[in-house]
Amino acid sequence: MRRPTISDVARAAGVSKGAVSYALNGRPGVSEATRRRILAAAEDLGFHADRAAVALAGAPARVVGLTLHRPARTLGVEPFFMELISGLEAELSLRSYALLLHMVAGREQETAVYRRWRHEHAVDGVLVCDLVEHDPRLPVLRELGFPAVVIGPPPADEPVSSVWSDDAVSLQEAVEYLAALGHRRIGHVAGIPDLAHTAIRAGAFAEHARRLGLEAAPCAYTDYTGPDGARATRQLLGAAGRPTALVYDNDIMAVAGLAVAEELGLSVPGDLSVVAWDDSPVCRIVHPALTALSRDIATYGRQAARLLLASLDGREAVGVAVEPAHLAPRASTGAPADARPSA
């Protein structure tokens, strides 16, 4: 079964190859009647233009690339990436773009992949996750002239499009909520310290703790895994002036925190309130159900795809803020059993 080519369509419609190309791409140069006849013939033959030929003739490859940095994230543990990809895909398929996925072990590997992709003409643009300060990937992308969209807060040092949700606002909402419940000592189990959004979250946490005059606002960094979240929880709860509430930077660590509380004989929320970032189905089904900062990750992905597609069309770099995560209060938070200041 030979794949039908543009010549087959031309023959079937009784026109030249050029006419078929014009008709298929919706360009002027063919009459409406002819266009219809050509489209019917193409449909009839099940014609789809060979991607390689189209790309070689100068059209975009209609593929965007996403590299995922394995050690920086517990991919497969957090639902975040799968939901993000789901949103990206939804938008990309609308415009017949495909998503090329590549997992890498380090940031240097990532820039090598960008170079290869660019030279191979493999993708038209890339999505960039998990930015660090002075991220080395950005200058490479600029040097390559690669359209790119950062998923996360806009970097200060590079002009590049970005889609982000304002984590500082969400953090503020969580801290104010806990403070209103009467908590005076609130801890933060943060993610990987290098990541730009970790710095933003930790900064907002410290700022609002100060502003609200909290007694204590300790912060512990982690690698986002459950065991490390458990370790950080024990560390924060073991110190003098034990916090009565903890805010976690992902769902898996919050669940681990719940288990540590039980192990230490602390009731949740009586002795300890727990807030998870990035709400997920797991947050809803554990007992007690976790109060979480909830956002629409799929929509976040759609926006990112839309912005990248706009960049491919030559639009200027812009920053787009999506709706920040908002607090979904559930059973894991409440007034502290002892709201009086500790000795």
Give the binding site for DNA (CB under 7 A).
Answer: 3-7, 15-22, 24-25, 27-32, 34, 47, 49-50, 53-54, 56-59
- Residue 291 region by backbone torsions, left for phi larger than 0, else alpha for psi between -120 and 50, else beta: beta
Residue 199 Cβ, how far from a copy of itself at the closest point, in Å?
25
Q: Rank residues 31 and 342 by Cβ distance to DNA and give the closer one.
A: 31
Complex with DNA: residue 30 or 260, whichever CB lies closer: 30
Rounded to an integer, what distance in angstroms lies between the CA atom of residue 67 and that of residue 113? Answer: 8
Residue placing its CB nearer to a copy of itself in the complex, 67 or 198: 67
Q: Cβ contacts of residue 113 below 8 Å, gap of 6+?
A: 65, 67, 102, 104
Residue closer to a copy of itself by CB (options 77, 181) is 77
From the CB of residue 174, how many other CB atoms can be counted at a distance below 10 Å? 27
CB of 116 to DNA, least distance (A): 12
Q: How many CB atoms lie within 10 A of CB 250?
A: 26
Three-state SS at 164: strand
Counting every residue written for the chain, the total comes to 343
Residue placing its CB nearer to DNA in the complex, 4 or 182: 4
Task: Report the SS3 class of residue 242.
Answer: coil
Between CA 18 and CA 23 the distance in angstroms is 9
Q: Which is nearer to DNA, 14 or 159 (CB)?
A: 14
Task: Give the Cα separation of 190 and 249 in Å (integer).
Answer: 5
- Residue 122 binding a copy of itself, by CB under 8 A: yes
Q: Which is nearer to DNA, 61 or 171 (CB)?
A: 61
Task: Pick the binder of a copy of itself from 39, 144, 310, 328 (CB under 8 A).
Answer: 144
* Among the residue ranges 26-34, 89-97, 151-159, 314-322, the one whose residues contact a copy of itself (CB under 8 A): 89-97
Contacts of 106 (CB under 8 A, 6+ apart): 69, 71
- Tokens linked to 295: 């956002």
| Beta carbons within 10 angstroms of residue 313's beta carbon | 9
Is residue 81 within the footprint of a copy of itself (CB under 8 A)?
A: yes
- 120 binds a copy of itself per the rule CB under 8 A: yes
Coil, strand, or helix at residue 12?
helix
- Binding residues for a copy of itself restricted to 5-44, rule: CB under 8 A: none
Least Å distance, CB 307 to DNA, is: 24
Residue 145: contacted member of a copy of itself, DNA, none (CB under 5 to 8 Å, by partner type): a copy of itself
Q: Does 185 bind a copy of itself (CB under 8 A)?
A: no
Asked whether position 90 contacts a copy of itself by CB under 8 A, the answer is yes
Number of amino acids touching a copy of itself (CB under 8 A): 66
Residue carrying the six token digits 């965007």: 64
Q: Which residues neighbour 8 within 8 Å (Cβ) at sequence distance 6 or greater? A: 45, 47
By the criterion CB under 8 A, which residues form the site for a copy of itself?
A: 1, 3-4, 46-56, 61, 63, 70, 74-77, 79, 81-83, 85-86, 89-90, 93, 98-103, 115-116, 118-122, 143-145, 225-227, 229-230, 252, 255-256, 258-259, 262-263, 280-282, 284-287, 289
